[in-house]
Chain A
Amino acid sequence: MPEGHILEVREVTKRFGGVTAVNHCSLVVQPRKIYGLIGPNGSGKTTLFNCITGLERRDEGEIRFKDERIDGLKPHQVACRGIGRTFQIIRVFPELTALENLLVVSRQGGLAGNRQRAMELLEFVKLDRLQNEYAGNLSYGQQKLLEFIRVLMTDPELILLDEPAAGVNPTLLNDLLDAIRKLRAQGKTILIVEHDMKVVMGLCEMVFVLDYGEKIAEGPPGVIQTNERVIEAYFGR
């Protein structure tokens, strides 16, 4: 087993009826790096995220986080071990205010004690003036940012982002990418599902490619771009 990895997915398989969404997939994630997880639609990226975070139970294989098995744990247990995630479709709490969306996920200390950290995060993405607005009234981009800082509120070691760039305008996107790089500098590990190749190539140090639930390639972005199997998966033979 490689030394010092934070997440290890070993031979994980997930089937839905006759469809094998994830097929004997293995990957190893080292701490303090930004990883990309790419693949055509339906290649099993989100299902793999769901298996890691406990929303789906894997049928076969093992998932380890910091050398402890986490497959079989409930989602809130996985989260409390230090894995945070965002969703492809925004899932803020619409009838809670922006501030409450952050306070609700705090785990220790009183609400008052967490307020300062929550306000810092709101400022970080320039939402501090909207702290008392219902999250459901925010714009799409603002909700996306809110969901992003809600993950940070729990201070996870490993952050899984499911298409953070989708539907975000270019200015906002740059802010978001900066924020992700800052997190890495703070010592976080990040795994991103992303469709936008430019984002993946510019941000990730290592990329895993899935196709029909199988990992078909892994490596630095530059190498991946020229990999024949990857090109084939995306553009056909």
Chain B
Amino acid sequence: MMAGILWLLLAVMGGLAVLPLFASGYIISFTIQIFMWIALAGSWNLISGFTGYVSFGHVAFFGIGSYTGALLVTKAGWHWLPASLAGCVPAAALALLIGYPCLRLKGPYFAIAMLGLNEVVRALVSYFESFTGGGSGISLPPILSIAPVYYAMGGVAIAVTLLTYRIITSRFGLRLLSIREDEIAAETMGINTSLMKLYAFLLSALFPGIVGGLYAWYSSYIEPLSVFPLLTTITMIIMCLFGGKGTVLGPVLGAVLLSVFQELVWARFIFVHQAIFGALIVGVVLLMPRGIMGVLQERYRLPRAV
């Protein structure tokens, strides 16, 4: 079973590796988007899927990474790749600064605090107009070829997924799950829950920072509204829950299936696509609250490492 899944993954990755050689620009852009969602949903999974601390402001790390990347490219003249990678630094700093006090909040209070964080960061970015361009945003040089972005975004998606695998097969991963299950019991059994949560939060902030930088380069223009939308956080959450929280392949499946579904529905039912999408989400939450991987794991006794 595990071997089969592994071969399937390798085949898919081989196919994806050669995709830019022959696919149309549309297919490549669409795949970049899927990679982006895999990385974002997978990152959200690291804190919220594992520990149960639902972050409603995760797009803040994406947005701050976008601005870091865009500013390094336009003002400091950096190459887009190191500029994007550098996006993880302020994202991590923000995660430490915010995580330390906010991870003490339980349940809805943490979610609301994170929601507030995103609004604050967006307001700050808009306010420092001379530096960030304020509401008029930042224009980046147009990109000549999207294949390098494709590989970079794919690399981040793989990195997040491998990291998730590494975590879930470790004691650290089990400790994070135990926090989700019963934090008081975990703490009483000698698990330093505050520290574990902070580590998870830090890891979950790194990749959205990088993805944000890549997004800024790829879309050639960013503004506060385009890189700090609540909808992006909600999409991460839905993809992760749909695929299965606290699993390795859940966010991947969720990102792929929902991206494809959304694209198909959007193309056919322009006016009602959001209603259809919404109905699907309600259905999933009602019928399989543990997501696709959660159901498969329970039904077929798959090991947790899937």
Contact = CB atoms under 8 A, between A and B. Distances in A.
B178 A111 contact: no
B174 A91 contact: no
Contacts of A69: none
A96 B177 contact: yes
Given A96-B174, A111-B171, A105 B181 contact: no
B280 interface: no
A127 B191 CA distance: 24
B181 A80 contact: no
B189 interface: yes
A176 interface: no
A53 B187 CA distance: 10
B175 interface: yes
A91 B190 contact: no
Nearest to A82: B190
A47 to B, nearest CB: 15
B170 interface: yes
A105 B189 contact: yes
B174 A79 contact: no
A132 B192 contact: no
B190 A76 contact: yes
B263 interface: no
Contact of B174 (A55, A94, A100): A100
A95 interface: yes
A151 to B, nearest CB: 8
A16 B302 CA distance: 47
A79 B178 contact: no
Contacts of A85: 188
B186 to A, nearest CB: 8
Interface string A108-120: 0011000000000
B188 A104 contact: no
Interface in B248-306: 298, 301, 304
A94 B171 contact: no
A154 B181 contact: no
Nearest to B189: A105
A104 B178 contact: yes
B11 interface: no
A174 B283 CA distance: 48
B185 A91 contact: yes
Contact of A76 (B169, B182, B191, B301): B191
A162 to B, nearest CB: 11
Main secondary structure of the interface of B (DSSP, over half): helix
B193 interface: yes
Nearest to B196: A76
A55 B185 CA distance: 10
A182 interface: no
Contacts of A134: 298
B190 A79 contact: yes
B189 A154 contact: yes
A13 interface: no
Contacts of B171: 103-104, 106, 110-111
Interface string A79-104: 11000110100011111100010011
Interface in B146-173: 169-171
Contacts of B185: 87, 91-93
B225 interface: no
Given A87-B185, A132-B301, A80 B174 contact: no
B192 to A, nearest CB: 5
B184 interface: yes
Given A93-B177, A95-B177, A75 B188 contact: yes
Contacts of B298: 134
A93 B193 contact: no
Given A93-B178, A96-B178, A106-B171, A150 B187 contact: no
Identify the interface centre among A85, A94, A96: most chain B CB within 10 Å of its CB. Answer: A96
B289 to A, nearest CB: 12
Interface in B176-223: 177-178, 180-182, 184-193
Contacts of A132: 301
A104 B175 contact: yes
Given A76-B193, A94-B181, A132-B301, A53 B188 contact: yes
A46 B117 CA distance: 39
A75 B177 contact: no
A126 interface: no
Contacts of A76: 187-193
15 contacts: A53-B188, A55-B184, A76-B191, A79-B188, A84-B189, A85-B188, A87-B185, A93-B177, A96-B174, A96-B177, A105-B178, A111-B174, A134-B298, A150-B189, A154-B189
Given A53-B188, A91-B184, A111-B170, 14 more contacts: A74-B187, A76-B189, A84-B189, A85-B188, A87-B188, A91-B182, A95-B177, A96-B174, A100-B174, A103-B171, A104-B171, A104-B174, A104-B177, A105-B189
Interface of B: 169-171, 174-175, 177-178, 180-182, 184-193, 298, 301, 304
